[in-house]
């Protein structure tokens, strides 16, 4: 929408130039080019595009979900891990999209996952069944706090959960030892 406002301002300036210069051809040509640019921008804004061409970031867009059962098929949607969600964070399956006019809603903060999915041994006195955590670790070694760790009851359960995340996030899975645990080493008795 900002591009259209910029084009409109340039068209206004061009029109003032035409009026002031008694219609010289180069000025009319320049104004004609601006009108063509405005026409293209309007068509681009108004024509829905396939969802595969939607921005790969955290902005909200107008998505067309033909399978929507509650409300209209055009709804506000934003990217999330593994797809799209609406304003209430319910899954959405848009097939087409269009940009929203200004002012834009606040971005969601979603970022594409980077790094690895790590399986680590875990223990908690408050959660006795917990044996492993599955979490996304960024390339810099920090935990991705935007994605809640998944708790597992066994190594098999952790591997199953990590494999599901790997498909959803397109990240490799790594099993690691907990860096906060120092292994116990037996000392021989001193004589």
Domain ranges in the chain are 2-45, 49-98, 116-176
Tens-digit pLDDT profile for residues 145-182: 888 899 999 999 999 999 999 998 889 999 987 655 55
User: d(Cα 174, Cα 136) in Å, to the nearest integer?
Assistant: 10
pLDDT digits (tens, 9 = 90+) for 37-61: 777 776 666 678 899 989 888 889 9
Residue 85's pLDDT is: 87
CA pair distance 172, 17, nearest whole angstrom: 60
Q: Residue 135: pLDDT above 90?
A: yes
More confident residue, 19 or 139: 139
Spatial separation of the C-alpha atoms in residues 55 and 10, rounded to whole Å: 27
Query: Phi and psi dihedrals of 4, rounded to 5?
Result: -65, -40
């Amino acid at each position: 929408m900002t591009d259209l406002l910029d084009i409109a301002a340039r068209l206004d300036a061009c029109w003032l130039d035409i009026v002031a210069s008694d219609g010289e051809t180069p000025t009319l040509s320049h104004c004609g080019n601006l009108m063509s640019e405005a026409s293209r921008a309007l068509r681009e804004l108004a024509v829905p595009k396939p969802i595969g061409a939607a921005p790969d970031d955290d902005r909200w867009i107008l998505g067309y979900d033909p399978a929507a059962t509650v409300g209209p098929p055009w709804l506000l949607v934003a990217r999330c891990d593994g797809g799209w969600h609406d304003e209430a964070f319910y899954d959405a399956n848009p097939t087409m999209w269009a940009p929203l006019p200004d002012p834009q809603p606040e971005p969601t903060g979603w970022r594409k996952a980077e790094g690895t999915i790590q399986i680590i041994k875990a223990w908690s006195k408050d959660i006795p069944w917990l044996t492993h955590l599955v979490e996304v670790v960024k390339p810099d070694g920090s935990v991705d706090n935007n994605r809640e760790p998944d708790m597992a009851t066994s190594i098999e359960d952790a591997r199953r959960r990590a494999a599901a995340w790997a498909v959803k996030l397109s990240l490799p899975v790594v099993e690691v030892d907990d860096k906060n645990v120092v292994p116990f080493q037996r000392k021989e008795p001193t004589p």
